[in-house]
Structure formats: C-alpha cells, structure tokens
Amino acid sequence: MPRIPLTWLAEHVTLPEGSSALQVATDLARVGLEEESIHGAQVTGPLVVGRVLELVKEPQKNGKTINWVRVDVGPEHNEDADNPKDPQPGTERPSRGIICGAHNFVAGDLVVVSLPGTVLPGDFAIAARKTYGHTSDGMICSGDELDLGPDPTGEDGIIVLGRGHAEGLSAEPGDDAIALLGLADEVVEINVTPDRGYCFSMRGVAREYSHATGAAYTDPVTTVQTPSASGAGIGVQLRDDAPIRGGAGCTRFVALEVHGVDPTAQTPRWMARRLTQAGMRPISLIVDVTNYVMLDLGQPLHAYDAQKVVAPIVVRRARSGEKLTTLDDVTRTLDVEDLLITDSDGGDGARVLGVAGVMGGESTEVSETTTSIVLEAATFQPITVARSARRHRLPSEASKRFERGVDPHLPLVAARRAAELIARFGGGEIDSRVTDEGEVTEPAPVTFPLGDAERVVGIAYTPEQVRGSLEMIGCTVRTGSDDTLEVTPPSWRPDLTIREDLVEEIARLVGYDTIPSVLPTAPGGRGLTVAQRARRSANRALAEAGLTEVASSPFVGEGIFDRLRYSADDARRGAVRLLNPLADDEPLMRTELLQSLLPVARRNLGRGEESVAIFQLGATSLSRGADVRSPIPSAAGRPTDAELEEVLAALPIQTRVLAAVVGGPSGPDSWQGEPAPWGWADVFDLARRVAAAVGSTLEVRRTERAPFHPGRAGELRSTSADGTSAIIGYAGELHPAVVKDFALPARTSALELDLEALIASAPSVVPAVPVSTYPLAKEDFAFVVEESVPASAVEAAIVVGIGDLAEDVHLFDVFTGEQIGEGKKSLAFSVRLRSTEATLTSEQIGAARARCIAAVETAVGGVLRA
Amino acid sequence: MAGGDSAPAPTPSCPWTKAIPVSESSSTPDMPVIDDATITVAIDAALAAIAAAPDTAALKQVRIEHVGDHSVLTAANRAIKDLPKDQKAAAGKLIGQGKGRVQKELAARQNELAAAEEEAALAAETVDVTLPTDLRSRGATHPLTTLQDRINDFFVGIGWEIAEGPEIESAWLNFDALNADAEHPSRSLQDTLYVAPENSGMLLRTQTSPVQIRAMIERGAPLYIACPGTVYRADEIDATHSPMFHQVEGLAIDKDLTMANLVGTLDAFAAHLFGGQPITRLRPNHFPFTEPSAEMDFRCFNCDARLGVEHDADPNCRVCGGTGWIEMGGCGMVHPSVLRAAGVDPEEYQGFAFGLGIERLLMLRNGVSDMRDMVEGDVRFSQHYGTEI
C-alpha cells in the first residue's frame, strides 16, 4: 500500500508547521484513507556536522591504517579540554577525538558525526569506546550506516558534505545532521480501498488531505506544461481483437522520445531518497524518474531503449503459446487474454516487449548504455491488467494502479514530466513529436437531486455543502432542472457513477462524525422462531445434563468414513468436496457431526480429560452429485423464480443436527460412591431429554448402524402431527473398534439427531390433560417374555390393554436367571391406574389387570410371572 | 390391665381419719394406706425420682413406679371408693392433688429430657457440609453460543427478527447479488473456499449476507433482520485468524431509513454489549454492497477512553491498544444494485446493513487472547463460562 513521505506530500498541499505523521494519518483516516503503519525517523540523538581539525594516520599491527582525528562538533558538543591521560591528536582545543577507518576525507572536511547517545538504523546505539589505543568519542558515518544506501557517486567511505549523499549540502560544525540529510522524515503508509485508485499517488493523497483539513492544494498536473507536438512520434497501433467485457484493453497510448541522455547520469539524491522512503529501490536515472513520476502523479510509465524498438509498436492480445522473458528473468507462457506491447522486429507486432501494465521484457530494456528512450504512458483496462497480474502472479507497482483505474488524462502530462526530469538530470533533448493514440472517454454526468444526500444520510445538508463538496473533489457541477444538479465526476474518479456514490462524497467531506444517532423503530417482529427457541432449549438441556458444548471443524478427510465403519455404499460417503481445501488431507465437508466430534473427544482426552461428555449443534451436508452446478444468473435484477429455483436446487442437502459423545466416569471419584460410567442408556436418556426440551417425544427401536455396536444401537423416531413416524437420528454405544481407534473410554456412547426434524415434530400447541382427583390404584406386573422382545413393545401392549385408566406405566426391573428360563427375561412394571370419572372399584381394577395380561400375551407372548 | 385385674379388692370397711395410725390388725399387703403422711411420702418420693431421672427411659420407669398401676398412689386412689362417704372427698382431694403434681412434673421433665435428647441426637448427626457434592458436574454451553443468543435477544428486543441460511451457499447469493464484481479479489481461491468442481457456482459462505438476499427475495420490504451464523475464509488458523468463524449481520430496509438510523442502531447495540455510554464512530470505507460505506469503530469499553472522546486511552490497553477505538466491522447504506438483485425497488426502499465478528466481540469483551481456544473444542474453554458469559 502507498507510503507517503510527509515532505513529498507537503509539495502539493500545505502541511501545518511541525505536522506529525500521526496527525496526518488521523486526518487522512477521516476521509477514508486508513493508516496501515507509520514509519518514523530512522536516526535519533546527537547526529551532527563536524569539521575535521586534525587527522593522524596510525598503521596497525593487523595491517590496517586507522585515522585518529580531532573533530570540531560545535560548541554545544565539544569537550573544552583533552583528557590528560588520553589526549586527542594535534593542538588542544574544544573538540572530540574519534577513530575512523575510512580514508576518503582530509583535515578541513565537513563530516557527519554520531556522538554518544545517537541511535542509528537497526537500533545501533553509539557510545564512547576505547579502540586502537585511543578513546573514540563517537563515529563518523557512512551513507550505509545511516540507511541512505551506497554512495550515489560510487565513492567508498564516509559522507563528506558537498559530495555524494551530501551533494550540494553545506553546514556548520554542530548543526543537526538528521534534518540536514532528511533522516527525520516520517512516512505514513495508508490503506487505499479499491475504489480510490487515484490515491496511489502523492497527487491524490494530497487532494484528500486537503479535503480532510482544508489545507491549500495544488494539483501537480497543472504545473506541467505540455507544448503542442510537432507531429506524431513513433508509430503505435492499438489492435484489440478480443476485448474483455466489451472493453478495449488499451484506450490511450502516449509515446514520447528523449534523445542524447547521458547514460552515466546519476539520480539526484533527493529523488533517490524519496523513492526509498516510498518503498522503491533506486536503480538508474531513467527507471527512477519513471517510478518517481508514477508515485507522484499516479501514471505508470515504461521506458524502452529507443534504439532497440522497431516501429510500429502494436498493442494486441497474446496469441496462444506466445512467450515472454520478463525483467525478472522468467520466461512466461502468455494467455490469449494477456494484452501485450509488441514491436515489429521480425514482422508487424511480432516481438513481445511486455505485458501491458504488468511487466516489461528484457529485449528493449534500458541499460547502462541507453542514450535514447521511448517513454510509454498508456491507459489500460483495469480488468485486463488485473487478470494478467493475477495469472502470472506479477503484482507490480504499475498493475496495482491500473487495476484500480488511472486518470486517463494523465498519460501525456506524465510522459512530459518524466521527459523533463530525465532531460534535466541526464541531459538530452525531448523529441518535439508526440504519439497519442486512442482517446479519453469522459465520465458520464450524473443527475443528482439536491435533497438526495439528506435522503440517504439523514442530515439536512445545505445546497452550498452539497455543491461545494462535489466541486471540491473535482466534479463539474451544473444546475439542472427541478432542484437537481448535473454532476460530471473528475477523470480520476471512475468510481463515481450513481447518485449514492456522490452522496458518500458529500457525507465524508462534511464528515461522518456529524451524522446523528437515531434508533429506528421497527414495525415489530415476531420474536425468535419456534426452531430458534427450541434449539436454545435443547442446548441448555444437554448442558444441564452435564455435557459441554464444543466447536469442531467441518472439514474431514476420506479416511474418516472407514474409521467409522461405513459400508462402501453408505450414503454418508456422499460428501461435498472442496475445490481448494485448506488441508489436502481434509477436502470434504462432514456428512455427519460425529465425524468431527469424535476427533474432538480424542483431543480432549489427549489433553488430560479422563472422561468425555460433549455435544455440538452443527451443520452437516450431503452432496447432490459431483458435477452439480449452481448457475449464476445476472445480478442486474431479481432472477426469475425458475432461475432462483435452479440456483438453490444445486446446493447440498444441509441439515442442522445435534450430536453428543459420552464415555468414561460420569463424575469425579466421590465419597458418595463410585461414579457410574457413561453408557448406552445415557445417550438414549439424553436424546429423550432433548426431545422433551423441544416439546417432542422419541420412540426408540433397535437397529444396526455404523459407527455403533451392532447390539447396542437404536434408531430415534419421532411422530409428526400427521401421525407418521420417521427416523430422526441414532444413538447407542460405539462399536468397540471405533472406541479403540479413537482411544476413547470403554463403552463410549454417542447420539446424533436431526434437530430441525425433531423440533418440527413437536406439536405447536400442547393440549391440556385433565387432572383427576379420584384415588389412585397401583398395580404391579411382571411378565416373562422372550429375550428378543423389546421392553417398549411390552409397555405398549400394557398401555393398549389397560386403555384410558393407565395413568402411568413404568418399567422398574429386568430380571434374567434360571427361575425364568433360558432365553427369557422378566420385565416388571408398576402401573398407576386412575379414572377421571369416579373412584375405581375393585371390579374395574381387576378387569384392567385382566385386559393388561391378555394384551401382553397377545402382543408379545408374555406370561404373567406367578 | 393385668395389674389392675390382679389387684385385690379394696376393703370397704377401711377407716379413714386424719392422721390415722396404721392399724396393726388391718395391715395387710393388699390394703393401701390412705393417710396424709403416707401420701405425702409417696408424692415426695415420686417428685424426687422425677427430678433425678437422667433420661426419658429412666423417666418412663419412674412413671411406672410412682404413678403406675402398682404404685402407692394408684393403689390409694383405687381404695378411695371403699372409704366411708365422708372420707372420700378428703382422700380424693389429697390423692388427686398429689397425683396431679406428680403428673405435671413428669410432663415437664419429659419435655426437658426429650428436648435434650433430640438435641443430642441431632448433634450426633452433624455432617461436613463443605464436602464436594459434584456427583455429576453441570455441563456448559459454548460462550460463542451464549454471546450469539445475547446478540439475538438484543435485535429481537428492538423489534427485528433473526434470519438464518445454509453455510454451503451459491456464489450468486454470496457474491453476485451483493454487487461483487466477477473480478473482485475476495472471490479468489486465496480468500474463498469453493465447492468442487471448478465453477460449481457453490462455496462456503464468506459472510452471512446471502441470508439478507434470501430474506429480501422471500419477504420483500420492509425488513428488519439480524443474520448470525458460521462463515468461512481460506485463512490458516492462528491466534487471530480462523478459517471458520461467526458473524452477525444486520439489515434494515424501509421507506426512509438513513445513515443516522445506522448510527442509532450501532449505538444501541454497543450499549447492550458493553454497557455504559456507547460511542460509535464511522470512517469512510469501501464495500461493493454498500454506498455510502463505512468502517465502524466502538469507543473502547475497557480503558479511560470509555469515558468519552475527550479522555485519552491507556496506551497499554489490551482492548484498544491505546487508540481508544475498537474496529468492529463494516457497514453502510445498502447499494441500490443489491436491492435490485433481491427484488426490492431502490426508488421506493432504502436501508442499511452492517456486519461484525462474534469471535472478535468475545475476544474483546471477555479477554480471550487466542482464537484457537474457541474453535478447537477443548471442553475447558466452555466449562470456564458455564452458561453465562
């Protein structure tokens, strides 16, 4: 994201004296340019200018020669007298003694001294130290040590004022060298949203700073003179035979030549410094100028070696299989969507020079021998550049700007400005001919009702505020009919196309902080839905039953299906597959919650839990097929019902389920006795509690199903309002192999049910049952039945047999043993009988008993135990 | 009454005088003596025995001995009927009064001893009430669930409804209908998890905004809904990122809703979650689905900054990092293109939307420092909260 050196910003907009980066960042944030970071001063402390008074060369045993120098660092920093035990060289006078290893200076030179207390880049703190037999009371600095980079003139050694890094600088001993060398410059790095491409330039940010603070702003574009061309320059042809979304890849191409440039010319110090501060590396004068102008105005530029370019230049889409070796030395195969800059070396548009707006190629690159250049400043289509940059993974400074849109009026101005800078610092002559192919599409005017900003924002903006804000951002505003304005956005704001865009500009310029706070009055909702309330109840019921709600990731690997013993044709293998999973070994979405809950159980045990009692409410999905696609209709309006139906029909079957896993001791060891281990009965109980919590009931039937123990699993059924019974889930003890695989406590049990279906099965109104005040009669029965007869069948028979008199039927004992007989069991029930009409007579009770016994015998062959 | 039955019949001729000496001749074991001295002695003996009884069992014995069937007093009482008429009244009074005193003392002593014995018995039953009682510990809900419920309650409280939708969603609902251009960077494989095969048109929703579109399509305007739910991004998990997290978005569409209503809703929401005098701040930003768009900040609720914008934040505040503000998410006025795609006429209706992360709220509000704690399913994380946050 763009880095804005304050001194550069101040060139286009008036910054108040002593502005801090923090203050500038705060001001910019107000208009929507968020601070990313602040790069503060690199050097702190007494970095001062010093004059070398004496210089004594002292050869050392190690072969080196060091300079023992006496430096005048100004009255404020000089020591008045030498230390008698460790005097400085030459005549004693106010100064400091320093040891220096560099040799590119002589007595009388002005140098940069970091005195003790200075902190150099890299948190390098300077202190006085004894070295080579003398006290070195500071350090004479090189450009590298101050993070200024290598000397621009190639001189090796320390900085001498008037040369190299300090070209053109003069000062007195004791002067602050931090300010002198620009080391105090603060830089604000900002975050630019995709709609504000123009803020990828000092020009744009300065404009926004002026909007935020009212500071005087000068558009740098207005300071560049573009003399009328004497004719067309190098031939350029724009040929786009495959426009993207109906738009041409290049709408304007300006080419301007500069001849006779000194190839050895250096980039001026200030420019190199600014490039560094803005995050770019200085390379050579020509390249640095193109980058500098890009950073300043926002127009990416490219310089070709004019002697290598063979006219005409052709801008066209790539042909299948075409290749280009880019400046980063990588040979890339181009895509037919790539927009190319080509020249006619080897035929019309035959040689690829670069990918438009992304990166240039080697063939026409400027080099250390280049004396003639062609400057390219073009307007490229954002989508074209964005796709190429993404395709080739080449996000460049140029592509960043083109993707967001570059002011189409810039190319000529920017090319001219760059040519002038090159000519100024590198000599040479600007060609009077200019190539300007293509044209600029002016933004369409927007009809803007004067009251629209108030309608959307809720502030009664004055007509002056509305008009003033729009004009301030560069719009041309004309009064239209019926209290409307005809607003033509500026060329650098392609994002302003509808009224709401203009409303945002007015709102942010007047200030978001002026918007009042008014809580709207909704018409009144219906509260939580039945399902939403019921889900809370289910959740709370399990928590109260001692289980802990956990989260789990929905991503699973294929292996989980085998681990859970699903058969090869189990429908639960029909998982939704991700195109770009985060982990290659987990490309699927869970089809059952236990797939992700069992690993969570394992993780908890691995972290020291001794038992597991967890649950989760989560989503599961089943694919509708590997090749099902959801169409993407136009978003210009509401799709038709048929289109919507198609969009939704492809989506996987998604279910909101509840699952729980319990195993190990159900509580801590206790003085009240050993805690019972969680087991199969608990999961059925938990399922019933959940059902009760949502107002429904469950029926359990034995079943066999993975991942459960074949003899200890049940299907959970609910009966809906229309009387149909449906399976809504399963519960039971986990198969011992699964228990072993996940290293769970023995007999760990689990349940999983379709919570939405369970909730839907609950009656919307619970009908009342009269409370009888007649006396209760208690009758106990013990029936001997075959081992295979489910208790629920016996109970059902009792209920049917006794009929309405049965207030409650409860199994209280199961007994097997020799007295009962092989393969049989005795089930003991206590039954509460009561009539709503009268006290039961002993005859009525006897009849009920008889009906009960007969019913059980008929239904399940049960015999009353004597 | 075996004792009564076996008692000999009193002698009717037995003389009764005041201070009658025991007649030697008529002195038989079966004949009670009824005279002042005898009765007084018997009563005094009874009272002394009552007072001396150490416990209720001893007292019971005292009762049998002194007022039981074989006691002197009972025998004397029985003998009254055989006395001459003129003596009966005096004898009756003497014995009756005496026996009355004894009975009264017995009752009093009984109460006294019983109370002491009950007290002792209860004292012996003393237990250590500080013993642990957790036969089965109470479970816990996940704090994100609890927080989400609380957020939902806020919206229901201001008359909104809670809308939900599927996590595996169509690209049209997640992006296109929300005015995200086909080239929008958020649609890239680096940001969004897609359903295979390529161009399936399906993805793991990156926001709960598709629920807004669904609601607008199904129910039209006016509409006031909050959309909580799980969303996914192609982010590797670390202390502050998770590929799976939770969001709540709000959407209000009506005839004349403005940004002022957006600010009002956010203020009320911030007050509900963090208490105190909420201050929210909007900063211009850009989102495809809103215009104007803003980033919303809440004033820090943790340090001095909460007292108002004129108060400086604590530079070391764990919540705001010294800025005084907490970035909460994006918001703005719903873009007309979004309304059109969802079948709502932007010439007639307008409204606002906002979205924020529930994990982030929990991290800020309750000081959770590592996102992984919330998603890995460690029971200790949930158990710490129980069912409250």
Residues B150, B33, single domain; the answer is no
- The confidence score (pLDDT) of residue B26 equals 44
Query: Does residue B181 fall inside a structural domain?
Result: yes
Strand partners, A785: A825
Query: Does residue B264 fall inside a structural domain?
Result: yes
Residues of chain B contacting residue A455, judged by C-beta atoms under 8 Å apart:
256, 258, 350
B277 — contact with chain A (CB < 8 Å)?
no
Residues B153, B119, single domain; the answer is no
User: Is the model's pTM score more than 0.95?
Assistant: no
Residues of chain A contacting residue B201, judged by C-beta atoms under 8 Å apart:
629-632, 647, 650
Query: Does residue B225 fall inside a structural domain?
Result: yes
Tell me if B265 and A544 make a contact (CB, 8 A cut-off): no
Residues B119, B148, single domain; the answer is no
Shortest alpha-carbon distance between residue A337 and chain B (Å): 14
- Write the pLDDT tens digit of every residue in A629-647: 999 999 999 999 999 999 9
Residues B115, B151, single domain; the answer is no
Q: Which of B124, B155, B189 is the last residue of a domain?
A: B124
Tell me if A517 and B183 make a contact (CB, 8 A cut-off): no
- Write the pLDDT tens digit of every residue in A57-99: 988 888 888 899 999 999 999 988 888 888 888 888 899 999 9
- Write the pLDDT tens digit of every residue in A716-736: 999 987 889 999 999 999 999
Strand partners, A661: A614, A750
Does position A36 have pLDDT exceeding 70, yes or no?
Answer: yes
Does position B10 have pLDDT exceeding 50, yes or no?
Answer: no
Cα→Cα distances A427→A257, A372, B352, Å = 13, 11, 58
Sequence-ordered alpha helix ranges (H) in A440-529:
452-457, 463-472, 499-510
Retrieve residue A35's tokens: 């601070």
Looking at chain B from residue 365 to 384, which residues have their Cβ under 8 Å from any Cβ of chain A?
A: 374-380, 382-383
Tell me if A604 and B264 make a contact (CB, 8 A cut-off): no
- The confidence score (pLDDT) of residue B16 equals 45
Looking at chain B from residue 142 to 201, which residues have their Cβ under 8 Å from any Cβ of chain A?
A: 142, 144-145, 149, 152, 156, 158-162, 164, 166-173, 176-177, 179, 183, 185, 188-189, 193-201
Residues B239, B272, single domain; the answer is yes
- Write the pLDDT tens digit of every residue in A149-163: 777 777 888 999 988
CA–CA distance, A561 with A590 (Å, rounded to integer): 10
The domain in which residue B299 lies consists of: 143-383
CA–CA distance, A34 with B328 (Å, rounded to integer): 14
pLDDT-based confidence at A169, cuts 50/70/90? confident
- Write the pLDDT tens digit of every residue in A574-624: 999 999 999 999 999 999 999 999 999 999 999 999 999 999 999 999 999
Tell me if A638 and B383 make a contact (CB, 8 A cut-off): no
Read off the pLDDT of each residue in B124-140 and give the average, rounded to a whole number.
90
pLDDT-based confidence at A472, cuts 50/70/90? very high
Residues of chain A contacting residue B294, judged by C-beta atoms under 8 Å apart:
512
Query: Which among B162, B281, B378 has CB closest to A528?
Result: B162
Is-contact B111 B40, C-beta < 8 A? Answer: no
Tell me if A550 and B342 make a contact (CB, 8 A cut-off): no
Query: Does residue B135 fall inside a structural domain?
Result: no
- Write the pLDDT tens digit of every residue in A492-514: 999 999 999 999 999 999 999 99
> Which of A615-624, A853-862, B92-101 is least confident?
B92-101
- Write the pLDDT tens digit of every residue in A246-271: 899 999 999 999 999 999 898 988 89
What letter does residue A242 receive in the DSSP assignment?
Answer: S
Query: Does residue B138 fall inside a structural domain?
Result: no
B218 — contact with chain A (CB < 8 Å)?
no
Retrieve residue A42's tokens: 């690199």
Q: Which of B73, B96, B124 is the last residue of a domain?
A: B124
Which residue from B minimizes the CA distance to A596? B377
- The count of domains in chain B is 2
Residues B81, B11, single domain; the answer is yes
Residues B119, B158, single domain; the answer is no
Whether the upstream peptide bond of residue A707 has omega within 30° of 0, thus cis, is yes
Neighbouring C-beta atoms of residue A792, cutoff 10 Å: 14
Query: Which among B167, B200, B204 has CB closest to A630?
Result: B200
CA–CA distance, A693 with A687 (Å, rounded to integer): 10
Does position B332 have pLDDT exceeding 80, yes or no?
Answer: yes
B267 — contact with chain A (CB < 8 Å)?
yes
Strand partners, B284: B294
Q: Please, what is the average pLDDT of chain B?
A: 88
Residues of chain B contacting residue A591, judged by C-beta atoms under 8 Å apart:
none
Retrieve residue A844's tokens: 């009525």
CA–CA distance, A89 with A96 (Å, rounded to integer): 10
- The confidence score (pLDDT) of residue B18 equals 45
- The confidence score (pLDDT) of residue B90 equals 84
- The confidence score (pLDDT) of residue B30 equals 59
Read off the pLDDT of each residue in A449-458 and give the average, rounded to a whole number.
96
A387 — contact with chain B (CB < 8 Å)?
yes
- The confidence score (pLDDT) of residue B15 equals 44
- Write the pLDDT tens digit of every residue in A303-322: 999 999 999 999 999 999 99
Question: Among B379, B387, B377, B381, which Cα is nearest to B369's?
Answer: B381
Query: Which among A550, A603, A629 has CB closest to B200?
Result: A629
Task: Give the rounded percent of residues in chain B with a pLDDT score beyond 90.
Answer: 58
Q: Which amino acid, B281?
A: R
Strand order in the sheet with A110-114: A96-100, A65-72, A47-59, A110-114, A139-140
Tell the burial category of B17 from Cβ atoms under 10 Å away from its Cβ (0-12, 13-18, 19+). exposed
- Write the pLDDT tens digit of every residue in A110-122: 999 999 999 888 7
Tell me if A633 and B172 make a contact (CB, 8 A cut-off): yes
- The confidence score (pLDDT) of residue B277 equals 74
Tell me if B244 and A553 make a contact (CB, 8 A cut-off): yes
Does position A10 have pLDDT exceeding 50, yes or no?
Answer: yes
Residues B174, B273, single domain; the answer is yes
Which residue from B minimizes the CA distance to A533? B149
Retrieve residue A247's tokens: 């738009």
Query: Does residue B199 fall inside a structural domain?
Result: yes
Q: Please, what is the average pLDDT of chain A?
A: 93
- The confidence score (pLDDT) of residue B184 equals 85
Look-up: residue for tokens 């993975």?
A706
Beta strand A331-333 with A339-343 is unpaired
> Which of A401-405, B86-90, B266-270, B280-284 is least confident?
B86-90
Residues B369, B239, single domain; the answer is yes
- B interface test, pick of A515, A537, A614 with most B CB neighbours within 10 Å: A515
Tell me if B135 and A670 make a contact (CB, 8 A cut-off): yes
B341 — contact with chain A (CB < 8 Å)?
yes
Does position B278 have pLDDT exceeding 80, yes or no?
Answer: no
Tell me if A519 and B261 make a contact (CB, 8 A cut-off): yes
- The confidence score (pLDDT) of residue B21 equals 44
A129 — contact with chain B (CB < 8 Å)?
no
Retrieve residue A51's tokens: 């004059």
Q: Which amino acid, B71?
A: S
Strand partners, B326: B298
Read off the pLDDT of each residue in A126-148 and give the average, rounded to a whole number.
87
Query: Does residue B129 fall inside a structural domain?
Result: no
Residues B303, B344, single domain; the answer is yes
Structural domains in chain A, sorted by start? 3-41+185-223 (3.30.56.10), 47-180 (2.40.50.140), 236-438 (3.50.40.10), 446-513 (3.30.56.10), 530-761 (3.30.930.10), 777-864 (3.30.70.380)
Residues B33, B81, single domain; the answer is yes
Better pLDDT: B10 or A367: A367
pLDDT-based confidence at B5, cuts 50/70/90? very low
Does position A45 have pLDDT exceeding 90, yes or no?
Answer: no
Is-contact B291 A199, C-beta < 8 A? Answer: no
Query: Does residue B130 fall inside a structural domain?
Result: no
- The confidence score (pLDDT) of residue A535 equals 97
Read off the pLDDT of each residue in A178-188 and give the average, rounded to a whole number.
85
Q: Which of B124, B153, B177 is the last residue of a domain?
A: B124
- A interface test, pick of B127, B181, B379 with most A CB neighbours within 10 Å: B379
Retrieve residue A175's tokens: 């002067």
Query: Which among A516, A539, A630 has CB closest to B260?
Result: A516
Task: Give the rounded percent of residues in chain B with a pLDDT score beyond 70.
Answer: 92
- Write the pLDDT tens digit of every residue in A775-797: 999 999 999 999 999 999 999 99
Residues B286, B378, single domain; the answer is yes
B348 — contact with chain A (CB < 8 Å)?
no
- The confidence score (pLDDT) of residue B87 equals 84
The CATH number linked to B327 is 3.30.930.10
Collapsing DSSP states into helix, strand and coil, what is residue A671?
Answer: coil
Better pLDDT: A85 or A297: A297
pLDDT-based confidence at A183, cuts 50/70/90? confident
